[in-house]
Amino acid sequence: MESQEQSRTALVEELMQRFPEVPREAVIKEDLLRGGMAFDESALSDGGDVKPKSYFIFSFDHRTLPELGAAALNRPPEEVVLTGGPYELRRTVVSVRVNPSSPYRVRAGEDGSLGLYLDGHRIADVGVPPMPDYYRHTLANGKSVMEVAPTIQWGYLIYLTVFRVCQYFGAKEECQYCDINHNWRQHKAAGRPYTGVKPVEEVLEALELIDRHDTAGTSKAYTLTGGAITSHIGGKDEADFYGQYAKAIEERFPGRWIGKVVAQALPRDDVQRFHDYGVKIYHPNFEVWDKRLFELYCPGKERYVGREEWHRRILDSAEVFGASHVIPNFVAGVEMAEPFGFTAVDEAIASTQEGLRFFMSHGIVPRFTTWCPEPTTPLGKANPGGAPLEYHIRLLQTYRATLEEFGLSSPPGYGPPGPGKAVFSVSSFMDSLPAKDD
Ligand code: SF4
């Protein structure tokens, strides 16, 4: 056990040495995102002062809620911020993905201050997000702001999962790395409040509280998202369903936040409706580049739209939003998931780079989320350790090089880039790009 634990530190340090152009902060952050972190009781809040993990769309945990025990009852923080330690980390915001068996552990040191420990050695000071004022208020019907309009990225982004399930349903349609439908079921089973379809009025009421109490103006953007809608909800198709929220928000708070929507790659007329409703940034996520893996991992997307059509629609949407405001996501790491993924890091990087070049040659800058192998998903079950850390580090290097090759820079709506400055918490791509103002 000891040698295995030691090897994690050795792996991290070896990669820091081999890839000195990738910030050390990003190496630690990617390792935490792909493999999670454990929390000592001493690091768990009993509620009150620390902003708790909101489970804003997927579980992003390595265990189910019943398996997490205390780490589920006393919620861990939404994010942690790392600084200092032997690697002299600059301020690094990391989304919390709980894994009780991770070699990374957050606990209080002898002086009571929280630290991040790897293989038993303290490697960073840990800060936790304070409970925002707007979380201390409830809607008239008693619902919490955290349930209706949680914020992530250290308060920068209001995450509006207005439809908590996906109409791609079951093994033949759900994306193979996605636990949105399971996360819905587990929160319901635990008796937690978890609104399936959020009424527009509730969203507006929660935003009103944020607007009033976020006096520092930390919140800068909102994302409208949820599952794919293949038929209708309340008589509305996907563009009108998600668009109605943007319309209401922009009428009530014109220009207060940058509006974004994550949805399927829709036909151009539908995309135009998103734009007309007031959405500024469109995320038609392509998930994984390789054709065979897309067909295997995203059977719903393949069935309802198809890979080539999905890509064509992404390019078309640039004519509506402008290329810089079309930002498709991919799930970094699933390229290497067993049993179907690439087995060599070189091949996985080459495939993903082909996709980056395809979009970037049209001025479209994709971004990524580091894959969290959630245990109830087919890919998570088969790959509890996620993808190799080397893949993630080389992806950061390749991403930056490809961006520079096409003369592009970091996408809008993600806060500032640069080590020590980035707030984007579910990947370190923003930590790895040169600093500039958002
Ligand atoms: S489209 Fe795929 S990734 Fe998105 S919510 Fe549905 S199953 Fe999950």
Q: How far does residue 332's CA lie from ligand 1's centre (Å)? A: 15
Backbone angles phi, psi at 205, to 5 degrees: -65, -40
Best CA proximity match to 95, nearest among 62, 69, 138, 132:
62
pLDDT at 123: 98
Cα 199 to Cα 24, 83, 204, 248, 433, distances in angstroms: 43, 40, 9, 11, 38
Q: How far does residue 290's CA lie from ligand 1's centre (Å)? A: 18
Residues 252-261: pLDDT tens digits? 999 999 999 9
pLDDT at 380: 97
| Residue 1 in tokens | 């056990």
Handedness of CA 382, 265, 279, 358 (dihedral sign): positive
Q: How far does residue 296's CA lie from ligand 1's centre (Å)? A: 14
Which residues sit with their C-beta closer than 6 Å to ligand 1? Answer: 166, 168, 174-175, 178, 180, 227-228
pLDDT at 47: 65
pLDDT along the chain (438 residues), means of 10: 64 98 98 96 82 88 85 84 98 97 95 95 96 96 95 96 93 93 88 89 98 97 96 96 98 98 98 98 97 98 97 98 98 98 98 98 98 96 97 98 97 95 97 84
Please name each of the domains of the chain with its CATH number: 2-127 (no CATH), 133-405 (3.20.20.70)
Q: How far does residue 165's CA lie from ligand 1's centre (Å)? A: 9
Work out the mean pLDDT of the chain and round it to a whole number.
94
pLDDT at 438: 53
pLDDT at 5: 45
- Whether the predicted model's global pTM rises above the 0.75 cut: yes
364 CB-contact burial (10 Å; exposed 0-12 / middle 13-18 / buried 19+): buried
Q: How many CB atoms lie within 10 A of CB 66?
A: 10
Residues 371-393: pLDDT tens digits? 999 999 999 999 999 999 999 99
Pocket test of ligand 1: the residue of 161, 173, 175, 179 to mutate, having most ligand atoms within 8 Å of its CB, is 175
Of ligand 1's listed atoms, the one at least distance from the Cα of 227 is 5
